[in-house]
Amino acid sequence: MPELPEVETVRATLENEIKNEVIVGIDLYYSKIIQNELEWFIKAITNQRIHRIDRMGKYLILILDDFAMIIHLRMEGKFYIKTNEEIDKHEHVIFHFGSGRNLRYHDVRKFGTISLLDINTYLDEYPLIQLGREPKNLEYHHFFEMIKNRKTTIKQILLDQHIIAGLGNIYVDETLFLSRIHPTRVASSITLEDAKHIIFSATQVLDKATKLGGTTIRSYTSSLGVHGRFQNELNVHMKQGEPCPVCQTEIIKMKVGGRGTYVCPKCQH
In the set 125, 259, 265, 266, the catalytic residue is 259
Catalytic residue among 55, 58, 78, 155: 58
| Contacts for 229 with CB less than 8 Å, ≥ 6 apart | 212, 213, 216
* Closest alpha carbon to 181 in 169, 165, 193, 170: 193
3 is catalytic: yes
DSSP per-residue codes, 78-113: EEEEESSPPPPTTEEEEEEETTS-EEEEE-SS---E
Query: Closest by alpha carbon to 262, among 236, 235, 243, 223?
Result: 236
Strand partners, 48: 23
Q: What is the DSSP string of 180-208?
A: T--TTSBGGG--HHHHHHHHHHHHHHHHH
* 121: helix, strand or coil: coil
Note if 139 is an active site residue: no
Among the listed residues 3, 21, 76, 174, the single catalytic one is 3
For the CA atoms of 261, 266, 190, 58, what is the dihedral angle to 10 degrees?
-30
Annotated active-site residue 259? The verdict is yes
Find the catalytic residue in 2, 5, 135, 183.
2
Our answer to whether residue 242 is catalytic in this structure is no
CB 39 within 8 A of CB 62: no
Residue numbers annotated as active site: 2-3, 58, 259
